[in-house]
């Protein structure tokens, strides 16, 4: 089953003129803390990432970053995203098993995902009772929960009402 992910929150990655980049500041803090060095492309990748909203692939990040600086390498994007993930500023997800996707983690509450198998739209939801039941199940098995992943695949409202799997990968 190949899932084509389409961003519903079609965020434009273009750097808004004078808008402040909060994600960049968070990354900068981690960089200082770890004794690493600041760099132009790390800022760029962070800006682009936090501007895009969520569930973005590395491919999308590279494309977006290159709109600002055509010479950023995929390696740098991979390295920067890994840094962000290691710092707890981004979560990495693999919805379809092939590409890794990232979403901002800064101060966002926990949530799980609904993924449309028709158009690839990803919706988020939080259900406290499910979390509770998960902990209970884990306890029953003697497990201490660290993380969990809950993904519900199905057809979204739009795709159900007539619109067949539209051609827009």
Q: What is the binding site for its own copies (CB under 8 A)?
A: 94, 97, 100, 114, 116-117, 123, 125, 127, 129-130, 133-134, 137-138, 140-157, 160
Q: Is 30 in the site for DNA (CB under 7 A)?
A: no
Sign of CA dihedral 53, 55, 56, 58: positive
What does 78 interact with, of its own copies, DNA, none (CB < 5 to 8 A by kind)? Answer: DNA
Q: What is the x/- site pattern for DNA, positions 64-103, by CB under 7 A?
A: -----x-xxxxxx-xxx-x-----------x---xxx---
- Least spacing, CB of residue 62 vs DNA, in Å: 9
| Whole-number Å distance between alpha carbons of 124 and 10 | 15
Phi, psi dihedral angles at 56 (to 5 degrees): -95, 145
Asked if 112 contacts 125 with a C-beta cutoff of 8 angstroms, the reply is yes
- Least spacing, CB of residue 112 vs its own copies, in Å: 8
Q: What is the x/- site pattern for DNA, positions 40-69, by CB under 7 A?
A: xxx--------------xxx---------x
Q: Which of these, 124, 126, 121, 125, lies nearest to 158 by C-alpha position?
A: 121
What does 144 interact with, of DNA, its own copies, none (CB < 5 to 8 A by kind)? Answer: its own copies
| Whole-number Å distance between alpha carbons of 90 and 82 | 9
Distances (CA, A) of 169 to 6, 7, 122: 7, 11, 14
Q: Which is nearer to its own copies, 30 or 117 (CB)?
A: 117
- C-alpha Rg value of the chain to the nearest Å: 18
Q: Which residues are at the interface with DNA (CB under 7 A)?
A: 31, 35-42, 57-59, 69, 71-76, 78-80, 82, 94, 98-100
């Amino acid at each position: 089953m190949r899932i084509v992910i389409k961003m519903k929150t079609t965020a434009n990655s273009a750097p808004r003129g004078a808008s402040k980049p909060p994600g960049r500041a968070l990354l900068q803090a981690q960089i200082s803390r770890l004794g690493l060095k600041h760099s132009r492309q790390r800022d760029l990748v962070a800006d682009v990432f936090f501007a895009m909203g969520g569930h973005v692939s590395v491919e999308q990040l590279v494309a977006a970053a290159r709109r600002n600086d055509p010479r950023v390498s995929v390696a740098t994007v991979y390295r920067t995203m890994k840094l962000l993930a290691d710092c707890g500023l981004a979560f990495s997800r693999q919805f379809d098993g092939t590409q890794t996707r990232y979403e901002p983690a800064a101060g966002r509450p926990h949530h799980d995902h609904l993924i449309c198998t028709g158009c690839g739209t990803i919706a988020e939801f939080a259900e406290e009772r499910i979390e509770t039941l998960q902990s209970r199940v884990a306890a029953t098995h003697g497990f201490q929960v660290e993380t969990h992943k809950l993904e519900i695949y199905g057809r979204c409202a739009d795709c159900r009402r007539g619109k067949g799997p539209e051609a827009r990968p």
